[in-house]
Structure 1
């Protein structure tokens, strides 16, 4: 019944999506996702990611949205956003980040997708007339599946439709502006991109979901650095790292990973970063 309702929402929304409809679509799918996925419930962790995400989102052009941020307890490196202000970051991405500006860069990027309504535009696109039903099946994982399939979807980066390279570049541009407005160093954006490209060489299974859902190439890194270089002076006053982020990482490291969300370790030796 819930699946039918969700499909109906997307079918109606495919014609024209108001902000209220966008929020309703995001809320419906977030409820399904949160019921199926191992969302970390630890108050300190959920409180940190919500506060950090809001510190960025509330300084954007869509500050009026009721933003929600979650950490998914899976070792896969990935992040995604739903229409209407729902942002998810996998535990694996936080563990892969060395500094808080790398995490804020990711949040800024996903917030950028919501600001630009990229997912809504996918639904509205004539070339993706059936995207609504496909996305619903993928997001809810209720189409002939179960928790095991949800785990596969998260791990494989199939939690949401893949954005185009143009959308990714636009979200990167939004991220640079978003994090600076919130007082964070945008250098974390290209820094994390470069780190994940390196990680792909020795831990491919851990980052395959990221590369499946986030087209990655040198062009994106170069473009991010160009945008940063064009910024006015004063970047030295922006936050690059802080103790609270490392406290977060330590708290996450102490949490067990659900068996279905664990990864088989890659055998290659990890290079020094």
Structure 2
């Protein structure tokens, strides 16, 4: 089957991360010219541009000849995130960019403020609010702990609708290429609620190697973060952010995947079966 060449040029800010790299790959599979960003260094790959949030002198070259931008900010709950995203939106207007899609979090006022910067930009926009990724257990925050058989985290019995990154990526791609998603906010979650302890129990039951979950209080988890090299200020911020989003406000299931893709989300149990069994074979 012949693949039609699509002329819309799309920049993925954060294109080397877990989600951004998947978005770039799927856009290119659909024959869209997708550009990813790196923070520094010499560029030897095609369609890669330097972009530094803290260095606005890198922005113009990164945004040149781009139609749409997918924005993955390092942490939309950080105090400086609103200003950075607002300035990027303003720069996008000046550069003739037509559409912004923002990966957002769920339930935080600081995050909603960042969303407002996009919504009030005057450009076409879509906001995608995502739950915690399934893939945090295989290639993210918790992967090493799972491999070692013990996960220490701040969450108690609160439940989370973990979402699969492949589902999220498919949603993002559609929001970037299909006009019908303009001016929409989508809540993208998995189809079931699990506590973090339940999640590691599912993994342990699947692999045959039990994983112990330890609930740490704020003081102990702060010490753990500092021991792992985080600054005291960043550790304090992360504790506050975690306590906010893990207070039960996000223990609900969104319908973004069904609305955008017309199909149900991947179950967490299916994700575990597909990933952890393969690792044991």
Output the TM-score relative to the length of structure 1.
Answer: 0.28
Q: Counting strand residues as a fraction of each chain, which structure ranks higher? A: 2
